[in-house]
Amino acid sequence: MSFESGTTIRILINTRDFSGELSDVDQNPTISIWDGSGAKRVSNQPSIKSSTGSYRFDLTLNEAWQLGNWIYEVRASIAGKPLVARGSFRVVKTGGDLS
């Protein structure tokens, strides 16, 4: 998925217990994000709870930041057991090709 630099994106996080049901975690999940050059732009920031097992994190993509493939990592725990998930998205130049 691609996003234009200078816009705000929302990363949605769903946490499930070990039986696969949406479940709240011990503390709101934290997120770290690295830009296309590998520079860490967000470090262990808490997400916001939307509903049971659902959280969100909004990020404005500063136009001065590196374009390219970005990586994010979400960390949480349920009953003291760690949960880690990773994902990626692409940041393109404003007015650029979003495909």
- CA 35/CA 90 separation, integer angstroms: 9
Query: What's the pTM?
Result: 0.83
Q: In order of start, what are the domains of the chain with their CATH numbers?
A: 2-92 (2.60.40.1930)
Cβ atoms of 79 and 24 closer than 8 Å: no
Q: What is the pLDDT of residues 78-98, one digit of tens each?
A: 989 999 999 999 999 866 455
Chain centre to alpha carbon of residue 54:
13
The residue whose two tokens read 């990586």 is 71
Q: What is the pLDDT of residues 19-31, one digit of tens each?
A: 999 999 999 999 9
